Chains A and B, each alone.
Chain A
Amino acid sequence: MKRYVLMRVLKAIFTIWAVYTLVFFLTRVTGDPVDWLTQAGASDAAKETLRRNLGLDLPLWDQYVKSFVGLFTGDTGTSYYYSREVSALFAERIWPTVTLGSIVFVVTIAVGLPLGVLAAVKHNSLLDRLTMSLAVIGSTLPNFVLGILLIFIFALTLRMLPSGGTGTVKNYIMPIIALSVGPVASVARLTRSSLLDVIGNDYLDFVRSKGMREWKVVIKHGLRNALIPVITILGSQLSALIGGSVVVETVFAWPGIGTLIVTSAQQRDFPVVVFGVLVIAASVTFVNLLVDLSYGLLDPRIRKS
């Protein structure tokens, strides 16, 4: 088990490094940041000075080594556009993103899990069919499309909610809905099917024959056994949430790291983009690592092997 954990951690670190390297070189082919930062008709000499100041005159390999080594000394580079330390920019922007993500994650569990359990217990009932039809729509609808639809209905037409920004509780409503509908739907669907697989098992009948009340049988023995696939999907939903928030934040002008990364990519602000992708890759890898390690906790049969 220790060996397994060590291997998983090493693989995770390799994945993060690979993503970092890939994105570092990919950003360089998007164009010259100096063109973006200087006004049209600026002199070649001025451009050259700026290029030297930004460290873009160095050979590509030197730039890579410098920025990679910098990560370990706490030097995350300087934004071309904001002329500020990249880590400071992220420190400012991370909280709106984390707050939104946490709320969405809690909503996903608090709504998706009970819906799935209800649908499984009452399977083939009207409630089951209604929930599952909605879940199919919910899990196929892209969150940015849903976001735009919500803005159109609630902000532009009904004028009930602000279309973007942050500050009041009202600002949270639409981003939360746009980001949670997909994960809630997936979790509900998977909880239902996973629980239905478990419900046919003898051990539930045995627990019933012990005299345990039905709802407790379903929660303590049914759901507990159905949890592994659900945790897996929760993990991948969380990963998707971290990536998906980039688009949804832009739709709602949410001042998080998503918006920061998108605008920086448009402005060819390489250090910000590379660091942003690094943060996302690290979070996704970390979540996946947690999911893999949780299997052992959830199922004693996996723990021993």
Chain B
Amino acid sequence: MNTEKELESRGAERKPVLEVHNLKSYYESRDGEVPAVDGVDLTLYPGEIVGIVGESGCGKSTVVRSLLGLMDPVTSRREAGTALFEDRDLFRLSEKELCKVRGKGISMIFQNPLSALDPVYTIGSQIMEILKIHESITDKEARERAIELLHQVNIPSPELRLNQYPHELSGGMQQRVVIAIALACNPKILIADEPTTALDVTVQAQILALIRELRDRLNIAVILITHNMGVVAAICDRMCVMYGGVVVEEGRCEEIFANPRHPYTRGLLAAIPSIDEDKETLYTIPGQVDVLKAPVNFCRFEKRCSHACSKCREEEPQLRGESDHLSRCWVFPDKSSEKTDFEQAKVVAP
């Protein structure tokens, strides 16, 4: 984890590389519109790793897919929002202009590296493909660059790998190839959608170390989507906790891990197994994610929250707090509410 000083020195001028404001993405469903993402703000500075955390269906993948325009236009719709990247609003770009941002300005890596690579083309041709999309480059140059890129993500004997097919590589190697492709055109932002979930634990650690190393070397900004608090603790500088399509808590990682405010964040942290404690069963947050219907005018976590009061059912709380730590809760809104009832939250849960 990085100290404040390091952060400041890295993003010296502190001009955000990406500013998302009030992003709303809705899915069409039989009984109305589902607010998958319902007003998310996200600011990203060069060289920082921001984690978006939450359980399945909280809208974390929808946020990043909306950014790149990768949503299925038949079933989903972007309701509102702006996303400033290099002084342009991504949401106002034409498909053609957006194609020039994808891969070159903002890259993305996926959860399962085997399914992210096309099974019928060699590793080499899939790396050279992205170079040829964005640069006018000869086959020979592209090949050399591909070797260099594989080298950069610590793949041994890259010349041999170029002619191999994805299924001939291990999961960790496949994810390295995916990362090499994503970094090929020196993007400003790397979006990593659950990059380690499909991998072995030891390989997970290697891939996370690689992402951090590349961030340090290339000063690239990373949005890391995960449901794993351990991953956030390992490499993120800042984090956003999402629930029901909104950010319920955001701030610097040390700050949130030390003083979580929102009951949902507290629940997530309580659910991390600890080596020190010898527990029979792991803590789980009771209930499951609700399917919501737009518009929402109550706290989205109210049904699963042991602290819910009448106000939570009547009005949706807003993000409040200090600049480095915000939370969306009526009961635990700011610094003064930290630690109060935290132990109780654990006790109340089954």
Contacts and interface: CB of A to CB of B under 8 A. Distances in A.
Interface of A: 124, 201-203, 205-214, 221, 224-225, 298-301, 304
A221 B130 contact: no
Contacts, number: 76
A123 B340 CA distance: 54
A209 B70 CA distance: 8
A211 B120 contact: no
Interface stretch (B100-108, B147-155, B270-278): B100-108
Contacts of B119: 203, 225, 299-301
Contact of B181 (A201, A210, A224): A210
13 contacts: A203-B115, A203-B116, A206-B116, A208-B68, A210-B181, A211-B103, A213-B96, A225-B120, A299-B119, A300-B119, A300-B165, A300-B167, A301-B119
A208 B167 CA distance: 21
A211 B134 contact: yes
Given A203-B118, A205-B70, A206-B181, 20 more contacts: A201-B115, A202-B116, A203-B115, A203-B119, A206-B118, A207-B129, A208-B68, A208-B70, A209-B70, A210-B103, A210-B107, A210-B129, A210-B130, A211-B100, A211-B104, A213-B95, A213-B96, A224-B118, A299-B119, A299-B120
A301 B111 CA distance: 22
A296 B116 CA distance: 22
A224 B115 contact: no
B109 to A, nearest CB: 8
Contact of B99 (A205, A206, A213, A299): A213
Most buried by B among A202, A205, A208: A202
Contacts of A207: 118, 129
A210 B102 contact: yes
B36 interface: no
B197 interface: no
A38 B110 CA distance: 79
B178 interface: yes
A202 B70 CA distance: 11
Given A202-B115, A214-B95, A224 B101 contact: no
B70 A301 contact: no
A181 B164 CA distance: 41
Contacts of B101: 211
Nearest to A303: B165
B133 interface: yes
A209 B68 contact: yes
Given A202-B110, A209-B103, A301 B116 contact: no
B15 to A, nearest CB: 24
Interface string B115-154: 1111111000000011001100000000000000000000
Closest 6 CB pairs of A and B: A211-B103, A211-B102, A210-B103, A209-B108, A202-B115, A210-B130
A225 B103 contact: no
B74 interface: yes
A300 B120 contact: yes
B120 A209 contact: no
Contact of A301 (B68, B102, B110, B165): B165
Contacts of A201: 115
A221 B118 contact: yes
Nearest to B107: A209
B306 interface: no
B112 interface: yes
Given A224-B120, A301-B119, A301-B165, A208 B110 contact: no
A228 B98 CA distance: 32
B237 to A, nearest CB: 23
Contacts of A225: 118-120
Contacts of B134: 211
B117 A206 contact: yes
Contacts of B116: 202-203, 205-206
Contacts of A224: 118, 120
Nearest to B106: A209
A298 B165 CA distance: 13
Nearest to B127: A210
Nearest to B68: A209
A64 B198 CA distance: 64
Contacts of A202: 110-112, 115-116
Nearest to A125: B74
A9 to B, nearest CB: 26
A300 B107 CA distance: 27
